Structure 1
Amino acid sequence: MIQIKKEGILLKKTKLSFENDSVLNPAIMQEGNTVHMLYRAVRSGNYSTIGYAKFEGPIKLIQRNNTPLIIPFLDEESKGVEDARIVKIDGVYYITYTAYNGINALGALVTSTDLLTFERHGIIVPKFTFDEFKRLAECNNLVNAKYFRHVRHFKHDEEIFLWDKDVMFFPRKINGKLAFLHRIRPGIQLVLINNLEELTKEFWSEYFLHFNEHIILDPKGTNHESGFIGGGCPPIETELGWLLIYHGVFDTSEGYIYSAAAALLDIDNPTKVLARLVDPLFVPELDYEKNGVVSNVVFPTGTAIFEDTLYIYYGAADKCIACASMSIKALLKELLQNPTQHES
């Protein structure tokens, strides 16, 4: 049995112009006793930047910048940079986020060595129309039919691409390759590359031709993730495998309910799912999780580990940032009681 402790709200919106609407969905980088938080800051009009805060230990706030750390520069992110995740690979911080221009939402990347200056790599996910994706992916009839339900209808002259969000790197190379997860609804997919330059139109065309081979997790029939799922926190390396905290979505007559979920991936071959919780890890239950900009949302995006305690940082009701904690040993033990077969 996993005992979950809700640590409460860590950050709320302020009167500062860049975060006067809400704060949510933080990227977390733990370095010793210091926790860096790169959070989504939303100003009135739904325009997002990335703010910065620092914690001593898991929840003691000691610094919060009064200006954004990362702001939009490209046309592709003209309406905001959203929902960052962060890892450190070979001394370099990889910060992924969703670039949003009011129509398209696509995964992008910046890198840094000091969290002060940033090198922009732009969009790293495929820029394909839904029809292009469907034509290639349908070559494999094993793909979940939900992938081919195009639900976004716009009346714009601009080019509309397949939404690809929740991009996050693994915190080290796997068999010499960079690895990252991304989400084309309704599941979670994996990319393995030698370098970023490989991510060409040709690469993604071949990827989509064999799309089923790259799907790690698809939604289960259980209520908490029967609608769709998506990446949450960057994978955590443990002695049993990669611990993945992700989100599941249940579509109800009153709207979506977002919950936190957990799975365990093979350490050398993360396409192999070793275990997966049948029930959600935690769900919206407190007022600040059930009522907000988007109600009934817990959206995990970063973690820190202090001794045996795993701290999961999440956006609550798209309004504020909160934290939940639990024993990582207890979580891994529970996962081992829910083994599964290779799910891709």
Structure 2
Amino acid sequence: MIEVKKEGILLSQSELEFENEGILNPAVIRDGDSVHIFYRAVQLWNQSTIGYCRLDGPLNIAERCDKPIIFPEFDYESQGVEDPRIVKIDDTYYMSYTGYDGVNARGALATSKDLVTFTKQGLIVPPISYAHFVYLVESAGKVNENYYHNHKFYYQESDPDEKILLWDKNVVFFPRRINGNLVFLHRIRPGIQIVSVKEIKDLTPEFWQDYFLNFQSHIVMDPIHQHESNYIGSGCPPIETEHGWVLIYHGVEETDNGLVYSACAALLDLNNPSMELARLPEVLFKPEHEWELLGAVNNVCFPTGAALFGNTLFIYYGAADSYIACASLKLTDLVNELLANMKNTEESSIVDKKDKSPGAHKLKKTTKKPKK
């Protein structure tokens, strides 16, 4: 039994120009008793930068910067740097984020040695069109047919000549090398995929060509439950336990009240995280309070960072794309619940009922501008 406590709103927008439209979706990393938060700050016309604050302990604000620490500098992020996540690997901090240029939203990376000065490494996802993606994936054999359901987004009737590249977002690194490699999750709708490379420089056009020709083998999770039936995406950096990597991710369901974003949980194999071991059949938590139900985007709990204090896991999330909130739970309770569901994950697949193709159910592996 998992008891989730909603700690409430942690941070709200201020009157400062760079965050006067809202704050959301924080990257979080603990250092001693301090929790560093790098959050998406939105100003007028939906332009985003990254703001910063520091907590003493998991919930007490100690300091907050009055200007952004990361902001658009290059064409690929000219209209916003969005939705960061952060981990420390060896002696380097890796901050992944989404660069938005007004048309395309794609995963990018910045690195730091001290959490003060960040060096941008550029885009780390493939710069290909949706049509090229479909061509490569189909060349290797059919996957879950829902990967082909995005054509109306990429070929919009209102502007058929607009060049929309493949949207590849929610880049989230594992907090250590695995088998000597840097490993990160990313999201091409509707599922979550995985990448493993020795170094970032290895993400060449040739790498991505081979990756998509073997796309099925890189899909970690596809939607299977009703609360995630539209799509899923990486959330917080994975949390290492003796039983596997705990992944807090978001699931999206289309309802009569629009899309609903909920926090969900799964367990991945420690040495081969492309293998899903378990998944909760119900949401971990969902929008229920007014500040989660009503905002810039309604019905949103969007987890992006976590900090562990003792056995209590604090999950930081964007609420209704307007606030940063926090929920807490006992990590051992979550792991035990995941372990209890290891044999039940395949039983309630909504996708499996619709699509028997390889990849529709892959568990045997050893609204504004869409914002998520």
TM-score, normalized by length of structure 2?
0.90
Relative to structure 1, the CA distance from residue 315 to residue 23 in structure 2 (aligned partners, 3 Å threshold; closer, same or farther) is same
C-alpha offsets along residues 110-157 of structure 1, whole Å, 9 cap, x if unaligned? 000012211111000011100100000012334111111223134275
Q: Secondary structure at the match of 1:213?
A: helix
Contact kept in structure 2, 1:295 and 1:317, CA below 8 Å: yes
The equivalent position to 1:185 in structure 2, one of 182, 186, 189, is 189
Instruction: Give unpaired runs (5+ residues) of structure 1.
Output: none
Does 1:322 find its partner at 2:325?
A: yes
Please tell me the residue identity of whatever aligns with 1:296: N
Match of 1:151 in 2: 152
Q: Does 1:238 align with 2:241?
A: yes
Pairs aligned (count): 343
Which of 245, 262, 267 in structure 2 is aligned with 1:264?
267
Provide Cα deviations, 1:252-301, integer angstroms capped at 9, x if missing partner: 13210000000000000001111110000000001100010100000000
Contact 1:108 1:123 in 2 (8 A): yes
Question: What does 1:43-62 correspond to in 2, within 5 Å?
Answer: 43-62=43-62
The residue correspondences of 1:38-187 to structure 2 (distance < 5 A) are 38-149=38-149, 150-152=151-153, 153-154=155-156, 155=159, 157=161, 159-187=163-191
Q: In the aligned structure 2, how far is the partner of 1:312 from the partner of 1:151?
A: 34
SS for the counterpart of 1:205 is helix
Q: What CA distance in whole angstroms lies between the structure 2 residues aligned with 1:141 and 1:228?
A: 21
Structure 2 residue 186 is matched with structure 1 residue 197? no
Rounded to whole Å, the distance in 2 between the matches of 1:201 and 1:118 is 25
| Offset, 1:209 | 0.4
Aligned counterpart, 1:273: 276
SS at structure 1 position matched to 2:139: coil
1:202 Cα deviation after fit: 1.0
3-state SS of paired residue (1:138): helix
Equivalent in 206, 222, 227 of residue 218 of structure 1 = 222
Whole-angstrom CA distance in 1 between matches of 2:297 and 2:141:
35
Letter matched to residue 291 of structure 1: L
Deviations 1:63-116 (A, max 9, x none): 000000100111111100000000000110000000001110000000000122
Aligned equivalents of 1:37, 1:157: Cα separation in 2: 39
SS of the residue 1:106 aligns to: strand
Match of 1:338 in 2: 341
Tell me the distance in 2 between the aligned counterparts of 1:208 and 1:53. Answer: 39
Contact map agreement 1:7 1:322 (CA 8 A) in 2: yes
- Name the CA distance, whole Å, in 2 between partners of 1:141 and 1:257: 32
Of 301, 309, 333, 1:306 maps to 309
Would the alpha carbon gap of residues 96 and 15 (structure 1) be closer, same or farther in structure 2, given more than 3 Å must change? same
Distance (whole Å) between structure 1 residues aligned to residue 7 and residue 239 of structure 2: 21
Distance between the aligned counterparts of 2:24 and 2:66, measured in 1? 16
In the alignment, the residues of structure 1 paired with residue 314 and residue 118 of structure 2 have an alpha-carbon distance, to the nearest angstrom, of 27
1: CA distance, partners of 2:160 / 2:204: 26
AA matched with 1:147: Y
Per the alignment, in what secondary structure is the counterpart of residue 160 of structure 1?
coil
Q: Which stretches in structure 2 are left out of the alignment for 5+ residues?
A: 347-362, 366-372
Counterpart amino acid of residue 195 in structure 1? E
- Distance in 1 (CA, whole Å) between partners of 2:283 and 2:64 is 32
Q: Given residue 89 of structure 2, which amino acid in structure 1 is its aligned partner? A: I
Does the Cα contact within 8 Å between 1:216 and 1:343 map onto a contact in 2? no
Cα separation, 2, equivalents of 1:297 and 1:343: 31
Q: TM-score, normalised by structure 1?
A: 0.98
- 1:151 aligned counterpart, secondary structure: helix
Moved more, 100-109 or 137-146: 137-146
Distance 2:26 2:125 in 1: 21
Report the equivalent of 2:33: 33
> Hey, what's the Cα distance between the residues in 2 that align with 1:20 and 1:172?
36
Instruction: Give the alignment's Cα RMSD to 1 decimal.
Output: 1.1
Give the direction of change, closer, same or farther, for the CA distance of 1:254–1:343 in structure 2 (3 Å limit): farther
CA distance in 2, matches of 1:141, 1:200: 23
Kindly provide the amino acid, as one letter, of the partner of residue 8 in structure 2: G
SS at match of 2:45: coil
| Segment of structure 1 superposing worse, 34-43 or 136-145 | 136-145
Q: Where do 4+ consecutive residues of structure 1 move more than 6 Å? A: none
Amino acid at match of 1:280: V
AA partner of residue 16 (structure 2): L
Alpha-carbon distance between aligned partners in 1 of 2:161 and 2:94, rounded to the nearest angstrom: 33
* Distance (Å, rounded) in 1 between the aligned partners of 2:242 and 2:31: 20
1:18 aligned partner? 18
Instruction: Report the CA distance shift for 1:343/1:103 in structure 2 as closer, same or farther (over 3 A).
Output: farther
